[in-house]
Amino acid sequence: MLFGMNGRMVFVSGATGHLGPAMAHAVAEAGAHVVVNGRNFVTGAALALDGGWTAW
């Protein structure tokens, strides 16, 4: 692992765009709790479910 983010919370703004999903998965793999935000709720919910996270 290049870096660790255990116990950190990361807010990914623009998570439904082109780079957002990759960023969300990268920080989640590093151990962070991820909060995603984007313009498209359906895409954001799919991203959350794909990552095993909770969608609101």
Q: pLDDT tens, 26-43?
A: 999 999 999 999 999 999
The token pair at 35 is 């909060």
Predicted local confidence at residue 54, as pLDDT: 80
Label the pairing between strands 9-13 and 33-37: parallel
Annotate 36-56 with DSSP letters as a single string: EE-S-HHHHHHHHHHHT----
Predicted local confidence at residue 8, as pLDDT: 94
Domain residue ranges in the chain: 9-51
DSSP, res 7:
T
Backbone torsions φ then ψ of 45, nearest 5 degrees: -65, -40
